[in-house]
């Protein structure tokens, strides 16, 4: 049996960012910098008698983590002890987020690439294993909207939404099977139980309730729900939980004014992001939201942390709507 002090020493090492081949972060940086992530440093919380890190010793892969909800989630999960693989189409954005996590005393590596590329999933999961030695949390967050009314929607618009919101998460889950499902099975055989693992797929209230002008997006996001429940049933016996989050109106590039000029390149074509005259839309829709406001990326990230954490250890196969009370 290991030395009784080994557990505490290992935990302190995790807090100091000293575990894993990519960690060369001094422990005295943690207290000084972690406040930039909007959270009290884990070690300081423990010293004050508060809760310790929720995700110590775990490795998380988050797609679409260069901006918006994904960025907020990467920083939040890192502040709770997870080593984070920051995956994004924009290599510069991904690296900036990884740098911010490291400067705050956390561990992170950036992986640039298109989630719809058939080779991306294996490469991203492989990087998690190469740098951090495992994978315990997968957040399928990458996505965008390409709206159009049904009678004018092009085959390209339809296929693009299915590719990024359904096929890409499926490939990532499949690529993660050796590190999550197979590793858990080995733990059960060797130790009698598997350590917790969690997959979180990002859906939308458009997928759970439908939305005019988004037949492609709504269909794809509804597919995310079916994929989530299938994985939960197949991998649940191995202590791999799988849940979905259906976000309502969250302040991101997808919901800000389209006139702002944000876009994403799909097949060599720039697709404008956002909502036309979003300011007017926000004003109208906020009155229908019980909390009377738009959600922030940080609030959205909080839901991701909750589902990934031990606080939701008996929650799987569920769709959590994070929408300020809409659709009650």
Distance CA 115, CA 167 (A): 9
Burial of residue 7 (CB within 10 Å: 0-12, 13-18, 19+) is exposed
Cross-strand partners of 87: 111
User: In the chain, what are the domain boundaries?
Assistant: 58-321
Q: What is the mean pLDDT of residues 262-277?
A: 84
| Ranges 16-30, 52-66, 273-287, 312-326: which has the least confidence | 16-30
Q: Report which of residues 20 and 78 the model is more confident about.
A: 78
Please check whether residue 122 is in contact with residue 147, taking contact to mean a CB–CB distance below 8 angstroms: no
| Ranges 94-98, 159-163, 267-271, 284-288: which has the least confidence | 267-271
Q: Is the CATH number of domain 58-321 3.40.50.720?
A: yes
The active-site residue out of 144, 217, 281, 314 is: 217
Q: Considering the entire predicted model, what is its pTM?
A: 0.84
Rg of the chain over Cα atoms, rounded to whole angstroms, equals: 20
137 confidence band (pLDDT: 50, 70, 90): very high
- Residue 144 is among the residues annotated as catalytic for this protein: no
Q: What is the mean pLDDT of residues 101-114?
A: 98
Per-residue tokens: 49: 């008698």
Predicted local distance difference test score (pLDDT) of residue 236: 98
Predicted local distance difference test score (pLDDT) of residue 51: 54
pLDDT at 130 over 80: yes
Q: What is the mean pLDDT of residues 206-218?
A: 97
Q: What is the mean pLDDT of residues 128-140?
A: 98
């Amino acid at each position: 049996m290991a030395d009784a002090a080994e557990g505490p020493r290992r935990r302190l090492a995790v807090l100091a960012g000293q575990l894993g081949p990519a960690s060369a972060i001094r422990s005295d940086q943690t207290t000084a910098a972690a406040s930039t992530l909007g959270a009290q440093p884990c070690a300081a919380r423990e010293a004050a008698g508060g809760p310790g890190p929720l995700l110590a010793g775990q490795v998380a892969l988050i797609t679409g983590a260069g901006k918006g909800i994904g960025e907020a989630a990467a920083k939040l999960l890192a502040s709770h002890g997870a080593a984070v693989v920051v995956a994004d189409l924009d290599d510069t954005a991904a690296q900036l987020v990884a740098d911010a996590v490291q400067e705050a005393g956390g561990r992170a590596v950036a992986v640039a690439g298109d989630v719809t590329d058939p080779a991306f999933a294996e490469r991203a999961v492989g990087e998690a294993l190469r740098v951090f030695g495992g994978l315990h949390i997968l957040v399928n967050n990458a996505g965008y909207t390409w709206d159009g009314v049904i009678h004018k929607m092009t085959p390209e618009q339809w296929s693009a939404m299915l590719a990024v919101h359904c096929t890409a998460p499926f490939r990532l889950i499949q690529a993660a099977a050796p590190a999550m499902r197979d590793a858990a099975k080995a733990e059960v055989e060797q130790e009698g139980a598997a350590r917790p693992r969690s997959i979180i797929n990002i859906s939308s209230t458009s997928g759970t309730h439908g939305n005019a002008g988004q037949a492609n997006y709504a269909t794809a996001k509804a597919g995310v729900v079916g994929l989530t429940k299938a994985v939960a049933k197949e991998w649940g016996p191995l202590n791999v939980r799988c849940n979905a989050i259906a976000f309502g109106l969250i302040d991101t590039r997808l919901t800000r004014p389209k006139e702002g000029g944000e876009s994403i390149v799909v097949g060599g074509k720039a697709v404008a992001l956002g909502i036309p005259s979003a300011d007017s839309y926000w004003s109208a829709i906020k009155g229908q939201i019980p909390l009377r406001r738009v959600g922030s990326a940080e609030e959205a990230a909080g839901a991701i942390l909750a589902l990934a954490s031990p606080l939701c250890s008996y929650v799987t196969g569920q769709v959590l709507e994070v929408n300020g009370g809409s659709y009650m």
